[in-house]
Structure 1
Amino acid sequence: MDILFSNSQNLLNQTDGKFFRYLFDKIEWNQRMIAIKGPRGSGKTTLMLQRIKYGIKPQSYEALYFSADHYWFYTHNLVETTATFYENGGRFLFIDEVHKYPNWSRELKNIYDSYPDLKVVFSSSSALDIYRGESDLSRRVISYELPGMSFREYLNLTQEKNFLPVSLAEIQNSHSQITPEITSKLQPLPAFKEYLKRGYLPIITESNPESIPVFLQQIINTVVESDLAFIADYNAGTAYKVKKLLGVLAESVPFKPNVSSIARKVETSRDSVYEWLTQLEKARLLNFLIAEGKGISLLQKPDKVYLENTNLSYALKATPEIGSVRETFLLNQLKNIKKEVRLPKSGDFQLDDLVIEVGGKNKDASQVNHLENYLIAADEIELGFGKKVPLWIFGMMY
Structure 2
Amino acid sequence: MEILFDTMERLLSLTSLEIVRSCMDTIKWNRRLISLRGSRGVGKTTLMLQYVKLHYPAGSRKALYCSVDNIYFATHSILELAENFYKYGGEMLLLDEIHKYNGWSREIKEIYDSLPTLKVVISGSSVLNIINADADLSRRCRNHDIYGLSFREYLKFYRNLDFPVYSIEDLLHQAPEICNKVNEVCRPLSEFEKYNKAGYFPFFEDDVEDYYYTLQNVSNYIIEQELPSLCGIDSSYARKIKALLCVVATGVPYEVDLTKLSQMIGLARTTTLDYLQKLEKAQLLTLLYSDTINVKKMQKPDKMYLQNTNLLQAYSLRRPHIGTVRETFAVLHMRVGHSVEYGKEHGDFVVDGKYTFEVGGKDKSFKQIADIPDSYLLVDEIEYAVGNRLPLWLIGFLY
Q: TM-score, normalised by structure 2?
A: 0.95
1:257-313 residue CA offsets vs partner (Å, 9 max, x unmatched) = 222222223222112101110100111111111114872222321001111111111
Is the counterpart of residue 388 in structure 1 residue 389 in structure 2? Answer: yes
Residue number in structure 1 paired with 2:164? 164
Q: Is the 8 A contact 2:250 2:321 kept in 1?
A: no
Q: Secondary structure at the match of 1:116?
A: coil
Secondary structure in structure 1 of the residue aligned to 2:174: helix
Distance 2:378 2:7 in 1: 47
Q: Is the 8 A contact 2:302 2:342 kept in 1?
A: no
Contact 2:290 2:343 in 1 (8 A): yes
1:322 aligns with 2:322: yes
- 2: CA distance, partners of 1:160 / 1:294: 40
* Within-5 A mapping of 1:71-220: 71-204=71-204, 206=205, 208-220=207-219
Does the 8 Å CA contact 2:37/2:123 hold for their aligned counterparts? yes
| SS at structure 1 position matched to 2:289 | strand
Contact 1:68–1:101 (Cα < 8 Å) also in 2 = yes
Mark the CA change 1:34 to 1:292 in structure 2 (over 3 Å): closer, same or farther.
Answer: closer
Partner of 2:368: 367
| Letter matched to residue 368 of structure 1 | I
Q: Which residue of 2 aligns with 1:5?
A: 5
Report the Cα offset of residue 248 of structure 1: 2.8
Q: Which amino acid aligns with 1:194?
A: K
SS of corresponding position for 2:378: strand
- The answer to whether the aligner puts 1:339 opposite 2:335 as a matched pair is no
Aligned length: 397
Classify the secondary structure of the residue corresponding to 1:367: helix
Cα pair 2:12 2:49 within 8 Å, conserved: yes
| Residue identity in the other structure for 2:112 | Y
Q: From the superposition, tell whether residues 293 and 9 of structure 1 become closer, same or farther in structure 2 (CA, over 3 Å).
A: closer
C-alpha displacement of 1:230: 2.0
Match of 2:20 in 1: 20
Aligned to 1:333, what secondary structure does the other structure show? helix
Match of 1:243, SS?
Answer: helix
Match of 2:270 in 1: 271
Provide the alpha-carbon RMSD of the alignment. 1.7
Q: For the residues of structure 2 that align with 1:226 and 1:293, how far apart are their CA atoms?
A: 30
On the 8 A contact 1:225/1:236 being kept in 2, the answer is yes
Correspondence 1:270-309 to 2 at 5 A: 270-292=269-291, 295-309=294-308
Per-residue deviation, 1:207: 5.9
Q: Does 2:398 match 1:397?
A: yes
Partner in structure 1 of residue 220 of structure 2: 221
Q: Which amino acid aligns with 2:373?
A: E
What is the distance in 1 between the residues matched to 2:161 and 2:193? 18
Deviation, 1:253, is 5.2
1:26-72: per-residue Cα shift (whole Å, max 9, x none)?
11211111111112111100000000011233643222111122232
**Is contact 1:99-1:230 (8 Å) kept?**
no
List runs of 5+ in structure 2 lacking aligned partners. none
Over the matched positions of the two proteins, sequence identity in percent amounts to: 39
Aligned equivalents of 1:180, 1:61: Cα separation in 2: 48
Q: Is the 8 A contact 2:94 2:121 kept in 1?
A: yes
Partner amino acid, structure 2, of 1:392: W
Q: Is this contact kept in 1: 2:350–2:357, CA < 8 A?
A: yes
Extract unaligned runs of 5+ from structure 1: none
**Alpha-carbon distance between aligned partners in 1 of 2:314 and 2:217, rounded to the nearest angstrom:** 10
CA contact under 8 A between 1:131 and 1:137: conserved in structure 2?
yes
Kept in 2: contact 1:358–1:377 (CA 8 A): yes
Question: 2: CA distance between counterparts of 1:153 and 1:58?
Answer: 28
- Distance in 1 (CA, whole Å) between partners of 2:49 and 2:222 is 22
Contact 2:343 2:356 in 1 (8 A): no
- Does the 8 Å CA contact 1:36/1:143 hold for their aligned counterparts? yes
Q: Is the 8 A contact 1:38 1:146 kept in 2?
A: yes
In the alignment, what sits opposite 1:349? Answer: 349
Measure how far apart 1:185 and its partner are: 1.5
Amino acid of the structure 2 residue aligned with 1:377: L
1:63–1:92 Cα contact (<8 Å) kept: yes
SS in 2 for 1:35: strand
Residue 94 of structure 1: SS of its match in structure 2?
strand
- The Cα shift of 1:2 comes to 3.3
Q: Distance in 2 between matches of 1:209 and 1:90?
A: 43
**1:377 equivalenced with 2:378 (yes/no):** yes
Aligned 8 A contact 2:251 2:320 in 1: no
Change (3 A) 1:243 1:74: farther
CA deviation after TM superposition for structure 1 residue 247, in Å: 2.5
Question: Do the aligned partners of 1:344 and 1:350 also contact (CA within 8 Å) in 2?
Answer: no
